Each structure stands twice: as structure tokens, then as C-alpha cells.
Structure 1
Amino acid sequence: MSLVPSLIRFDLRTSPSNAAVLLDGEFVGETPLNIKIKPLHHYEVTLKRAGYAAIKKSIDAEVGQNIVKNYDLEQNLHTISQSSSPVATVSLNGSPVGVTPSEIRVSEGDRLVLRSEGYAEEGFTVAASHLDEKKNHIVLIKKERKAFVDAPEQKTIAGVKLRRLEGADNFSTAMQGVSPGTFKIPDLYVSETEVTVGAYSSFLGKKGKSLDASHPITGVRWEDAVRFCNWLSQKEGLQPFYRFDSVDGIEIGSTDSKGAGYRLPTLVEWLFLVTDGKGLDDAPYVGGMDPKRLPRGIGNLAGRERAAERGFYFQDYKDEYLEMAPVKSFRPSGFGVFDLVGNAREWLHNTAGPSDNYFGSGMGMEHLVVGSSYMSGKAADLKSAEISKELFSAEDIGFRVVRVIR
């Protein structure tokens, strides 16, 4: 009968810790490490940590003798040339090291942070690619532009596909039918299409598929549209823009200016969208909307296909849809937004009272409705700023959503 010697304890520590430990080429954990090993054996120990030189050691395990080892890891330092636009202060692992441009001694895994007044802080973890290049240049972004630059170009929330849209500092509304003014348009997410039946059904909690799920939802009240906006905000964890309070049993609506959530577009934003930011009179997508020379595929309007129906129609235009069309059936605007011409008219955030305020007067029961629909067959319907005032829903009124990128 042969006796087997008891396992011994191997206690291994490094400074800094979290070094990978390989025993005879096999990973056994990270430091600090306390394991049991067989005695009467020769071991090859390798220690590795990003940014530090690897350590290789040999140990002989004896019967009854526990092993305790401590090693100091040495940094693999490299010199990189760090520059920036504009000039910025640089900190390395939280400590100031100078101002750009400068030569900095770093190792893989170090953290560099650049700061300049009025600009968003920019930081990065030093990777092998930085060490190989030896030169690194960073263009800092103005604080007010940071959110826009970091925002994805496209995203989908609860079936609503959104497109990132860069705002404008001086957008003019000097167009026919609109009070002249110059406005700052914020950076926005805007729904690429009018909200669909499918997305609205999710809001209502309806299950199952609908044959018209890809059509715009229409026949909804303004209050229903803004409730959808609040629901969408909650889906994304945003503070709702609209508030509803009950006073003596009567529901009163208001807005929260600090709310970062979704809302209906304002009139100014609609004009910005429909004119591709150019502010040109009567020019959605193109250089004009002559009813006798409507561009083919401009939108779902009342063309010759509705000749048998009662009402006005464009004799020199025809599309393939007698009624509502699925969204994206027609070409998009220069901004990549669909159905700004035809298909469904759209609710706006603004009430109908006169105002030169970006969000409208905030007074009155009626709200503005803009655009044209599949029922539009008159020249006046093609105005970029074709505006009506509505209190109730209609079979050709839908809506789209926007939110400010912050």
C-alpha cells in the first residue's frame, strides 16, 4: 500500500492584483489566488496583466510545505503623441499630466481624459492600437452637440421607427399663410412615418395581426395622439411631455417643459420637415407643387383613380391607391421622412390661437392640422403650410411624433 502525500497550499499575490495566472500553461484564476496543488512536482508559473510585462517563474512543490509568493508587476510603458482640437488638458488615470499637444508615457489599459471649456469631456482607454499608432488626435465636441453626435442615426421604439435630424440655428417661416419669424430648431428624433395602425394597436393593448397594420392610424383625437406620445416616452424611460390632471372630475391637459419625452411636432418643426429645412414657399421635397405637373410618386393624393368618387381630384395625377396606402409607399423627403405629402393629414402640437411662439399660444380647444391626404384634390391642399383648425378626429387625420435629443 502506497501513501499519497497531501496537497499543499499555493498562495499567490501580485501588485497590482487581477493578474491572470497560468500553471503549466493552464489558466487557474486571477490574483490574489489561493489554491491547492500536488507536492513533488515542478511547476511553471506565468503571470499576465494588460499593460504590464509578463512574469514567468519556476517553483518546486515539496511535501508539507505551503508556498507563498508575492510579485511586483512592471508596467510596459510606451510614448504616444496626444493632440486635440481645440487645445485640452489631459489627465492620466485621474491625475493631470499636461496640455495637448504632448508626449505621454502610457501603458495598455490606462485611462486618458481630455477636457476643454465649453466642450464635452472625451476619454478613452489606451488599447494596443493606440500604442502601435503612437499618435492620437481627438476632435472635441461642443457640449450642446454631444447628445446629437452620440445619438444613433436610427432607432425603433415600440414599432415606431425614428430618424435623427439635425436642427438649425436660423430657420425662417416667411412663407405664405404663416406668420414670419426666425426660429432655432433643436436636434430631433422624428418618426420616419405617420404612426401606424400596428404601433397604435400596441398602445391600446390589442393583440394579433391586422391587415392594415402598416397603414397610418387615423380617426384619432388630438388627446389620443398625445397619450400615445406619453406611452412611447414611458417605453423609453423618459419623462412624459404631456400631463393630464383632473379638476372637479374634468380632465385638464398641460405640458411639462422639462419633459424629455415624445410629443407632436410644432408648426415650425412641420415646416422645417416639409421643406427639407430650406423654408421655401410651397416646396415639399421639390421646387414647387404645380397641380398640373405633380411629380410622379410624390404622395398618395386624390388623382384620377378617384374620378368616380365625389369630390375634387387632380386630373393630371394618378397613384395606385383609392384609399389609404401603407406607409413608405411613396418616396421620402430629403430628410428621409415619408408621407409628408398625401396619405394622411397630421395633428400638430399647437393650438389654433394666433402666436409667434415656437410651441404656439397654448390657448383654445382646437388644434392645428397640416398637410394633405389621399382625399386632397385641390391646388390649395398642396401648400407647404396648408393648415386647418380641428376639434374632432377625422378619417384622414393621423399623426407622427418627435422628441428633442438631449
Structure 2
Amino acid sequence: GKKQKKNSGIFKLTTTSHRIEAKAPGYNTELQRVIPTSKRTKNIFFDLDKTTPKPGAATVAASVQPASSTPSFQKIETPSMVSLGPGVFTMGASRREPGRRANEGRHQVEITRPFLLCTHEVTNGEFHRFQPGHKAGNIGGQSLDTDNLPVVKVSWQDAARYCNWLSRQEGLAPFYREQGATLVPVKPATSGYRLPFEAEWEFAARKVARTRPGSYPWDGRFPPPAHHGNYADESARTLLPVVIRGYYDGFPVLAPVRNFPRNMAGLFDMGGNVSEWCHDFYSPVTAPMSGRAVDPAGPASGKYHVYRGSSWRDGAITELRISYRGYANTAKDSLGFRVARYK
């Protein structure tokens, strides 16, 4: 409950919920909520966005206060985004890839329009500003509603509505409009917040530093390296039917966002923690009849939407691969989202 000295680097906290803020002149303040444990050191990363064209050198000061039980946000801050594209990449998986499913046809994709993708999955704290009454409950005594955890039990429709709400907060034209029981893109497309297209998500997830070709969001084969991400680990053995033997990430259920290393694109949790809704309606076939797919956006309609990426529930080869494609039409306790938009 006391302010820390500038550049102190390391400080000790009680094992209760704390709010940590990083501030610097010329940069947006960033807030994270953490619950320290007595058994290990926790690394906390901040990636501050510039607020002025010439911010100059800045010194970050962290202040620590006990967290209250309700969000205490006073203003909407622009999400931390990274710029990606244009580019060409191979989407899907080879028929010989272990764990491959029939809906992962391998094909070339070209993304012609640059886009922005949020560095982290939308948190409870962020989503509660839009929908204060949202509750995800708990699993095995672990709350799913802590502010710095990724929001879960959100339908695709509510994820899209959050994108529109966020656009309005920033004075951007919404990307979606209501149509019956779902939402569809406005035409022509705006630069408002939206869910990433499935091809954009895989393009971003494949930004992994590799020593050889690979199938996972890490360099190498299965299992993942130590502390790579929040997968079905040994700490979840009493909760899940399948866990990764000998792997320990310290989180039996959800983990705070930004808790594990980012990929080469600067994105956190592109593998593990929660699977993520994408914009596209689901189709078992994604590859064109011939040539490469250019800016694919999925079918015009459908019963299900695509989600990508593994979650804290996943411990098998199939689901942990980058090319794994899931689909759903209901909310899940392992399914969240991150926002994107055109530049």
C-alpha cells in the first residue's frame, strides 16, 4: 500500500490483490492487477503507448496500492496495439503434421491491408467498463472475474458489441451494425475496432523466432518450453482430464494477461490462456480452388464463428498447434477475444 521509488526494479508485496501503475511523462499510464505468491518471483511487463509526437526519454515509476473489489477506472485508454501486414504466408497445416485436422487445409494467403492488433486479450477490467454486470464465476475455487484476467464467458455478439462501444469511446466509426440476432460489417469497412479476421490472427501467431520450421507458438516440438504460456499444466491435474506431463506454468485456470513472454510481433498469449473469437463465420474449407486467398474474411453467413488459439484447458498436440481451428456459437469459460482494426 505504499508508493515505490523510481526505478526500484524489485519490490516485495503481500499475497493479496494489488494494483500496479506505470507512469511516464508523454506516455499513457498502464495498469495491471496482480496477486503475488510466496513461492516464486513474478515478472511484470509494461508497454506504454506514447501520447505526444516527441515524448523524449522517460523514467517509469511504479506505484502499488491494494486493489478494491470493484473497477476504479476513470477514463478509457487506447488499447496497446501492434502494426502488422501487409504480407504473404502459408495458412493451415501439412497433411503429415501430427494432430492435423481435416479443416486445416494448407494454402497461401495474402494480406494486402495493414492492420493493428491488440497486444493482449481483453481483460475483465476493460470489459466491465462496457458491461459492468458481467460475471464469469469461478472454477475449482479460482475466480474468473479478477480485473487483470482475460474476460471469458462472452458470446461472439457481445465481443463485437464491445468493439463498437470501444470505437465510439474513441470517436471512430463502428465496424459492425446489428442485423437480426447477429452483427455484420458496415460497408464500406471502417477503421473502427473489430475482431481479427482468422487469417490475420494466424498471420500474427506465426511470428515466432524459429531455428527450424514448426507447428507451435514456440520454437521446437511438443511439449512447450518451461513457462511459455498458460496451458493445461500439472497444477490443473485435479480439474482437467488431460494435462501436459511435467509442464508447470503455475496457473490451474486463467492467468493474468502479459504474464508470459510475448512473441516476435509483440503479442502476448497467442498460445494458451484463452482461445480467441475471430470475426469469421466458420467453414470447414478455407483454401481457394486455385491460387492464393487474398484478404479472406470467411463466409457471409453461418451458424458458428471461428475461434483460434489454445487455452488453459488444452494439453494435447492437436489444440496446441497454431493451425488448430475451433468453432462455437456459445460462450465458454476458456474463450475470450482481443481487438483489431485497420490502420
Please give the secondary structure, in 2, of the residue aligned with 1:215: coil
Work out the CA distance in 2 between the residues paired with 1:235 and 1:388: 31
Please give the secondary structure, in 1, of the residue aligned with 2:177: strand
Alpha-carbon RMSD: 2.7
Query: Is the 2:232–2:242 contact (alpha carbons within 8 Å) kept by the matching residues of 1?
Result: yes
**Counterpart position of 2:198:** 267
Please give the secondary structure, in 2, of the residue aligned with 1:181: strand
Are positions 1:238 and 2:172 aligned together?
A: yes
Work out the CA distance in 2 between the residues paired with 1:187 and 1:238: 17
**Counterpart position of 2:220:** 288
Are positions 1:388 and 2:326 aligned together?
A: yes
Query: Is the 1:190–1:402 contact (alpha carbons within 8 Å) kept by the matching residues of 2?
Result: yes
Structure 1 residue runs of 4 or more that deviate by more than 3 Å after TM superposition: 277-281, 354-357
TM-score when scaled to structure 2?
Answer: 0.65
Give the one of 88, 103, 106 matched to 1:170: 88
**Counterpart position of 1:350:** 280
Per chain length, whose mean CA-contact separation is higher, i.e. which structure has more relative contact order (CA < 8 Å, sep 6+)? 2
Within a 5 Å distance, the mapping from 1:6-405 to structure 2 comes to 158-159=76-77, 161-173=79-91, 175-176=93-94, 177-205=104-132, 212-245=146-179, 250-256=180-186, 257-276=188-207, 281-284=214-217, 286-291=218-223, 294-353=224-283, 354-355=285-286, 356=288, 358-405=296-343
Work out the CA distance in 1 between the residues paired with 2:276 and 2:92: 21
Please give the secondary structure, in 1, of the residue aligned with 2:80: strand
CA separation of 1:174 and 1:302: change in aligned 2, threshold 3 A: closer
User: Which amino acid counterpart does residue 220 of structure 2 have in structure 1?
Assistant: G
Higher percent of residues as strand:
1
User: Which amino acid counterpart does residue 324 of structure 1 have in structure 2?
Assistant: L
CA separation of 1:165 and 1:311: change in aligned 2, threshold 3 A: same
In the TM superposition, residue 277 of structure 1 has moved relative to its aligned partner by 7.5
**Counterpart position of 1:50:** none
Work out the CA distance in 1 between the residues paired with 2:127 and 2:329: 21
Work out the CA distance in 2 between the residues paired with 1:174 and 1:318: 29
User: Which amino acid counterpart does residue 394 of structure 1 have in structure 2?
Assistant: K
Query: Is the 1:301–1:375 contact (alpha carbons within 8 Å) kept by the matching residues of 2?
Result: yes
CA separation of 1:169 and 1:331: change in aligned 2, threshold 3 A: closer
**Counterpart position of 1:81:** none
In the TM superposition, residue 386 of structure 1 has moved relative to its aligned partner by 1.2
In the TM superposition, residue 255 of structure 1 has moved relative to its aligned partner by 0.9
Work out the CA distance in 2 between the residues paired with 1:310 and 1:224: 28
CA separation of 1:252 and 1:326: change in aligned 2, threshold 3 A: closer
**Counterpart position of 1:79:** none
Work out the CA distance in 2 between the residues paired with 1:387 and 1:211: 26
Query: Is the 2:209–2:264 contact (alpha carbons within 8 Å) kept by the matching residues of 1?
Result: no
User: Which amino acid counterpart does residue 188 of structure 1 have in structure 2?
Assistant: F
Query: Is the 1:241–1:260 contact (alpha carbons within 8 Å) kept by the matching residues of 2?
Result: yes
In the TM superposition, residue 238 of structure 1 has moved relative to its aligned partner by 1.2
**Partner deviation per Cα, 1:56-104 (whole Å, 9 max, x = no partner):** xxxxxxxxxxxxxxxxxxxxxxxxxxxxxxxxxxxxxxxxxxxxxxxxx
User: Which amino acid counterpart does residue 189 of structure 2 have in structure 1?
Assistant: K
CA separation of 1:322 and 1:295: change in aligned 2, threshold 3 A: same
**Counterpart position of 1:61:** none
Which ranges of structure 2 fall in alignment gaps of 5 or more residues? 1-51, 54-74, 95-103, 135-143
**Partner deviation per Cα, 1:38-62 (whole Å, 9 max, x = no partner):** xxxxxxxxxxxxxxxxxxxxxxxxx
Work out the CA distance in 1 between the residues paired with 2:221 and 2:306: 22
User: Which amino acid counterpart does residue 222 of structure 2 have in structure 1?
Assistant: D
TM-score when scaled to structure 1?
Answer: 0.55
In the TM superposition, residue 391 of structure 1 has moved relative to its aligned partner by 1.0
**Partner deviation per Cα, 1:332-380 (whole Å, 9 max, x = no partner):** 1111110111110111111112344610112212001111111111111
User: Which amino acid counterpart does residue 283 of structure 1 have in structure 2?
Assistant: Y
User: Which amino acid counterpart does residue 172 of structure 1 have in structure 2?
Assistant: T
User: Which amino acid counterpart does residue 194 of structure 1 have in structure 2?
Assistant: E
Which ranges of structure 1 fall in alignment gaps of 5 or more residues? 1-150
CA separation of 1:255 and 1:179: change in aligned 2, threshold 3 A: farther
**Counterpart position of 1:111:** none
Work out the CA distance in 2 between the residues paired with 1:332 and 1:188: 18
User: Which amino acid counterpart does residue 350 of structure 1 have in structure 2?
Assistant: D
**Counterpart position of 2:22:** none
Please give the secondary structure, in 2, of the residue aligned with 1:161: coil
In the TM superposition, residue 172 of structure 1 has moved relative to its aligned partner by 2.6
Query: Is the 1:159–1:199 contact (alpha carbons within 8 Å) kept by the matching residues of 2?
Result: no
Please give the secondary structure, in 2, of the residue aligned with 1:186: coil
Work out the CA distance in 1 between the residues paired with 2:222 and 2:308: 19
User: Which amino acid counterpart does residue 274 of structure 2 have in structure 1?
Assistant: A
Stretch moving more, 176-185 or 307-316: 176-185
The higher radius of gyration belongs to 1
